[in-house]
C-alpha cells in the first residue's frame, strides 16, 4: 500500500480498505471526462473542415497535460518545458528524414529521447529554490535552441528542417490533405497519454506528489522519497512533451527553431493557467480556449496579438487563478462533490 | 586581447547597472520580476525619441531616461506589483511574463520592429590609443559612469539612513514596521530607483547592446544570471558577477563564435548546481 496511506494510518488508525476505497473513489471516471472525449471524437464527423486547428489543439493539449504533471502535481515552476517539446520535434523530424518515415516509430523514439533529457535534467530541478529552477529550466531550453540554430548541417539552422514526408501511420493510414487521419492519430496519442497521466495522478504515487508540493517538509517526515518521485514524474512529463513535439513535426512535415523559443514555454504555462492546474483536463480545456483565442486575435490584430495575450495573463493573475477555476462549482451534483473532496 | 578585456568590462558594467534594480526586487523583496528588461527598454526608447525626434543632447537624455523609467516603475509598483508581493512564485512569473509580452508588442506598435540607432556626440565616438591599447571612447565613458554609480549605490546602501532602513525592511519586515519604518514606501522608492537605473542602463546600452522590441526577452536571461550568480546580499556580489559575465560573453563571442552562447548558459547551469544560492552568497541567514 501507499506511503501516504501508511502515514495516515500511523497518525490515526485507519483501516487499509478505507484508504484503498478512497483512492478508488477519487480515480473514478467522471462524467465530464466522457463528454470531453466524446466531443473530441464527434468532431471528426461534425467538423471535417476544422481538422487542422483541431490537430493543433490536440498537440497543445498534450503538451499542457505534460506540464501539468510537473507544475500542477509536483509543483515545479518550469520556464523551459519546451526543451522537451523541441527535442521531440527535432528527433522525429531527423528520424523521418534520414532513417525511417513511419510515424509511430518516430513518435516512440522522440519520446525516448526527450525522456532521456528529462531524466538527465531532473537532477537539476531537485536543487535550490523556485528561482534556481526557473533559471536552470530556462537555461536548458535556451541552450537547446542555440544548438538547433548553430548546428545548421543537421537541423537546417534558422531555416528549419524540411524536405521529408511521412509514410502512412502503421503502414495503413495515410496523412490526407484535410488532416483527418492526422487528427485521429494525434487524438489517439493524446488519449493514451492522458490516461497514463491520469493513472499516475490518481494513484498513491500522485497523491504523494501532491503531498510534496503542498509541504515538502511534512511529506519528507511521513516518509515520501521526494527526490525519486520528482525525478520519475519529471521524466514521464518529458516523454509526453516529446510526444507532442513529434506530433507537431509529423503533422506539419516541418520543424523550425521556433519549437524551442521562449514564448512556447510561456504559452503552455498560459494554457495551463486558463484551464486550471492540477487536474489534467485543465491542459485540454486550456488548449481549446487558448487556440481559439489566439486564432481570433491573430485575425483581429495580426501583429500585436502578443499584447492581448500578455494582458490576459496579467488579468488572470490579478483576478486570481483559483476564482477562475471555480466555475467547476456550478457543475451539477456529483461533479461539484468530487471537486470539493479533491481540494 | 586587452581590448577584449576592456570591452568585456564595459559590457559587464552596463549589465550591472541594468540588473542591479533586479537584485533588489528579486533578491531582497523575493519577487520574481521577469519584466525588468521592459524598464530598461523604456529608457532606451526615451533616449531614441528625444535624440532623434527632438534633437536633444545625449547627456540630457540619460537623466530623462532615468526619471521616465523610475516614474513608470513607481506607477506600476503602486498599482500592480504591490498586490503580488505575497503571491506564489508562479503568479509572479505569469504576471511579469504578461508584462513583458505587452511591453514587446507595445514597443513594436509605437516604434516599429527595426533596430533603433542613436548618434553619439562626436567626443564620445571613435577610439583612442592609450599605451598601445585601442580603447573605444564610449566604452571608457560607460565604465567611468557605471563605476561612479556602483560606488554611489554602495555608499547609499551602507552609509545613509535610507540604506539602513531598506536593509532593515529586507532583513525582517515585521520588526522594521514595528520600529516605525514605512516599509511599503521604502520598497516603492527602491523599486522605482531600480527601474530608473535599468532605464539609464538601457539608454547607455542602446549603442552597445542594440535596441529593438525584443530587448526584454533577449536580455532577461542575462539579468537573471547576474542576480543568481552574484547573490543578493551585497552590491559587490552582483557587480563582480556582471563583470565576469561581460568578459566571458565578449571573449566567448570573439574566440569561439560558434559556441559563444553555450559558454554563458553552461557556466550558469554549472554554477547553479555547485552553488544554488549564488557565488558570493552570504552563508546562513537567507
The whole domain housing B33 covers: 2-217
Residues in Cβ contact with A219 at an 8 Å cutoff, skipping those fewer than 6 apart:
A208, A211, A212, A226
Q: How many CB atoms lie within 10 A of CB B118?
A: 16
Our measurement of the distance from residue B219's CA atom to the centroid of its chain's CA atoms, rounded to an integer in Å, reads 10
**Given this model, what pLDDT does residue A342 score?**
45
- What gap in Å lies between CA B76 and CA B39, rounded to an integer? 11
- Phi then psi for residue A332, to 5 deg, are -65, 160
The owner of cell 521529408 is: A164
The residue with cell 552590491 is B235
pLDDT band at A330 (very low <50, low <70, confident <90, very high): low
Give SS3 for B146. Answer: helix
What residues does B134 pair with on adjacent strands? B129
Q: What is the C-alpha to C-alpha distance for residues A245 and A300, in angstroms, rounded to an integer? A: 28
Residue A341 confidence (pLDDT) = 46
d(CA B224, CA B216): 12
Nearest to B102 among A127, A273, A307 (CB): A307
Residue among A306, A309, A312 with most chain B CBs within 10 A, to mutate: A306
Average of per-residue pLDDT across A85-103:
89
CB pairs under 8 A between A and B: 122
- What confidence tier does A186 reach under pLDDT thresholds 50, 70, 90? very high
A71 secondary structure, DSSP code: I
**Is residue B99 less than 8 Å (CB to CB) from chain A?**
yes
pLDDT winner (highest mean) among A124-133, A315-324, B218-227: B218-227
Query: Mind listing the pLDDT tens digit for each residue in A40-66?
Result: 888 888 887 888 889 999 999 999 999
In a domain, B274, yes or no: no
Answer positive or negative: Cα dihedral of A187, A203, A336, A211: negative
Q: How far is CA B11 from CA B25, B46, B253, B255, in A?
A: 22, 21, 13, 16
Residues of B in contact with A127 (CB under 8 A): 272-273, 276
Q: Record the cell numbers describing residue A241, joined without a space.
A: 512533451
d(CA B131, CA B135): 10
Phi, psi of A169 (to 5 degrees): -65, 125
Q: E strand or H helix at B98, and its extent? A: helix B89-111
CA-wise closest residue to A262 among B245, B221, B198, B227: B221
Separation in Å, CA of A271 to nearest CA in chain B? 11
Of A319, A251, A289, give the one whose Cα is nearest residue A61.
A289
pLDDT by residue (tens digit) across B147-199?
888 888 888 888 888 888 888 887 777 888 888 888 888 888 888 988 998 99
pLDDT reported for residue B71:
92
Which cell numbers in the block locate residue A265? Answer: 514555454
Q: Do B87 and A317 touch (CB under 8 A)?
A: yes
Q: Cβ–Cβ contacts within 10 Å for residue A301, how many? A: 14
Window 229-268 of B, Cβ < 8 Å to A:
258-259, 261-262, 265-266, 268
Q: Find all residues with CB under 8 Å of B202, minimum gap 6, and list them.
A: B18, B39, B40, B41, B42, B43, B44, B45, B47, B65, B69, B211, B215
Higher-confidence position of B273 and A255? A255
Determine, yes or no, domain membership for B70: yes
Q: Which residue is closest to B225 within chain A, CA to CA?
A: A135
B19 in A contact zone (CB under 8 Å): no
Calculate what percentage of chain A has a pLDDT beyond 70. 88
Percentage of chain A with pLDDT > 90?
A: 20
Q: What is the grid cell recorded at A316? A: 488572470
Architecture of domain A3-342: Orthogonal Bundle (1.10)
- Positions of chain B with pLDDT lower than 50, given as ranges: 282-286
Question: DSSP 3-state assignment of A28?
Answer: coil
Closest in B97, B105, B276 to A132, CB measured: B276
Identify the bridge partners of residue B36 per DSSP, sorted by sequence position: none
Closest partner residue to A127 (CB to CB) among B98, B265, B273 is B273
User: In this predicted structure, what is the pLDDT of residue A86?
Assistant: 93
What is the number of structural domains in chain B?
1
Residue of B nearest to A128 (CA): B276
Q: In the prediction, which pLDDT does A6 show?
A: 47
Asked whether residue B261 is assigned to any structural domain, the reply reads no
Q: Which of the residues A313, A319, A325 would you substitute to probe the B interface, choosing the one with the greatest number of B C-beta atoms within 10 Å?
A: A313
Q: Where are the alpha helices (DSSP H) in B119-259?
A: 137-159, 161-171, 173-178, 183-205, 215-230, 236-255
Kindly indicate the confidence band of residue A119, based on its pLDDT and cuts at 50, 70 and 90: very high
Q: What is the C-alpha to C-alpha distance for residues A249 and A42, in angstroms, rounded to an integer?
A: 25
Q: Do A20 and A202 contact (CB within 8 A), yes or no?
A: no
Question: Which ranges in chain A belong to alpha helices (H)?
Answer: 3-11, 16-26, 31-46, 51-68, 82-98, 103-125, 130-150, 152-155, 180-201, 204-214, 216-222, 226-252, 262-275, 281-300, 305-319, 321-325, 333-342
> Cα dist. B96→A144, A308, B48 in Å?
24, 14, 25
Q: Are A251 and A186 in contact (CB under 8 A)?
A: yes
Distances (CA, A) of B101 to A114, A134, A301, A306, A335: 28, 18, 15, 6, 36
Looking at the complex, does the CB of residue B111 fall below 8 Å from at least one CB of chain A?
no
Using CB atoms within 10 Å of the CB of residue B223, give its burial: 0 to 12 exposed, 13 to 18 middle, 19+ buried: buried
- Is B258's CB within 8 Å of A312's CB? no
The pLDDT of residue B284 is 37
Amino acid at each position: 500500500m501507499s506511503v501516504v496511506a501508511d502515514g495516515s494510518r500511523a497518525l490515526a488508525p485507519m483501516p487499509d480498505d478505507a484508504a484503498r476505497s478512497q483512492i478508488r473513489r477519487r480515480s473514478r471516471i467522471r462524467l465530464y471526462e466522457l463528454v470531453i472525449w466524446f466531443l473530441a471524437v464527434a468532431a471528426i464527423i461534425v467538423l471535417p473542415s476544422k481538422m487542422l486547428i483541431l490537430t493543433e489543439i490536440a498537440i497543445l493539449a498534450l503538451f499542457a497535460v505534460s506540464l501539468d504533471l510537473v507544475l500542477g502535481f509536483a509543483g515545479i515552476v518550469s520556464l523551459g518545458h519546451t526543451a522537451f517539446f523541441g527535442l521531440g520535434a527535432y528527433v522525429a523530424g531527423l528520424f523521418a528524414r534520414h532513417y525511417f518515415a513511419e510515424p509511430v516509430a518516430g513518435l516512440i523514439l522522440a519520446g525516448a529521447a526527450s525522456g532521456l533529457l528529462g531524466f538527465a535534467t531532473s537532477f537539476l530541478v531537485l536543487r535550490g529554490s523556485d528561482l534556481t529552477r526557473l533559471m536552470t529550466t530556462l537555461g536548458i531550453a535556451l541552450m537547446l535552441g542555440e544548438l538547433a540554430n548553430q548546428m545548421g548541417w543537421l537541423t537546417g539552422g534558422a531555416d528549419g528542417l524540411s524536405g521529408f514526408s511521412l509514410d502512412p501511420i502503421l503502414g495503413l493510414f495515410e496523412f490526407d490533405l484535410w488532416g483527418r487521419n492526422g487528427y485521429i492519430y494525434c487524438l489517439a496519442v493524446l488519449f493514451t497519454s492522458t490516461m497514463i497521466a491520469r493513472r499516475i495522478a490518481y494513484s498513491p504515487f500522485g497523491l504523494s506528489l501532491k503531498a510534496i508540493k503542498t509541504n515538502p517538509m511534512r511529506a519528507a517526515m511521513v516518509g515520501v522519497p521526494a527526490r525519486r518521485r520528482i525525478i520519475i514524474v519529471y521524466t514521464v512529463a518529458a516523454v509526453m512533451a516529446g510526444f507532442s513535439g513529434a506530433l507537431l513535426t509529423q503533422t506539419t512535415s516541418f520543424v523550425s527553431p521556433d519549437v524551442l523559443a521562449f514564448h512556447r514555454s510561456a504559452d503552455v504555462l498560459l494554457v495551463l493557467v486558463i484551464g486550471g492546474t492540477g487536474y489534467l483536463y485543465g491542459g485540454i480545456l486550456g488548449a481549446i480556449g487558448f487556440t481559439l483565442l489566439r486564432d481570433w486575435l491573430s485575425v483581429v490584430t495580426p501583429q500585436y496579438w502578443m499584447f492581448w495575450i500578455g494582458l490576459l495573463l496579467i488579468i488572470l493573475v490579478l483576478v486570481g487563478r483559483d476564482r477562475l477555476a471555480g466555475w467547476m462549482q456550478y457543475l451539477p451534483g456529483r461533479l461539484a462533490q468530487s471537486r470539493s473532496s479533491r481540494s | 586581447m586587452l581590448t577584449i578585456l576592456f570591452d568585456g568590462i564595459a559590457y559587464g558594467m552596463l549589465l550591472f547597472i541594468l540588473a542591479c534594480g533586479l537584485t533588489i526586487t528579486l533578491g531582497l523583496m523575493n519577487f520574481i520580476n521577469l519584466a525588468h528588461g521592459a524598464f530598461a527598454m523604456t529608457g532606451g526608447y526615451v533616449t531614441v525619441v528625444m535624440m532623434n525626434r527632438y534633437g536633444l543632447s545625449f547627456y540630457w537624455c540619460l537623466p530623462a531616461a532615468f526619471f521616465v523609467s523610475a516614474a513608470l516603475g513607481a506607477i506600476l509598483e503602486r498599482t500592480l506589483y504591490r498586490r503580488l508581493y505575497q503571491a506564489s512564485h508562479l503568479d509572479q512569473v505569469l504576471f511579469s511574463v504578461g508584462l513583458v509580452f505587452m511591453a514587446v508588442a507595445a514597443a513594436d506598435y509605437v516604434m516599429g520592429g527595426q533596430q533603433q540607432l542613436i548618434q553619439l556626440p562626436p567626443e564620445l565616438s571613435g577610439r583612442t590609443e592609450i599605451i598601445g591599447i585601442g580603447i573605444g571612447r564610449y566604452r571608457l565613458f560607460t565604465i567611468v559612469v557605471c563605476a561612479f554609480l556602483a560606488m554611489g549605490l554602495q555608499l547609499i546602501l551602507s552609509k545613509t539612513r535610507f540604506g539602513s532602513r531598506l536593509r532593515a525592511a529586507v532583513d525582517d519586515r515585521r520588526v522594521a514596521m514595528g520600529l516605525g519604518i514605512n516599509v511599503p514606501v521604502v520598497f516603492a522608492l527602491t523599486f522605482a530607483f531600480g527601474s530608473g537605473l535599468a532605464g539609464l542602463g538601457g539608454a547607455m546600452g542602446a549603442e552597445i547592446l542594440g535596441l529593438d522590441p525584443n530587448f526584454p526577452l533577449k536580455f532577461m536571461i542575462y539579468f537573471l544570471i547576474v542576480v543568481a550568480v552574484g547573490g543578493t546580499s551585497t552590491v559587490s556580489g552582483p557587480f563582480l558577477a556582471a563583470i565576469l559575465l561581460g568578459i566571458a560573453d565578449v571573449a566567448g563571442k570573439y574566440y569561439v563564435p560558434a559556441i559563444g552562447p553555450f559558454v554563458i548558459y553552461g557556466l550558469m547551469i554549472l554554477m547553479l548546481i555547485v552553488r544554488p544560492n549564488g557565488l558570493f552568497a552570504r552563508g546562513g541567514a537567507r
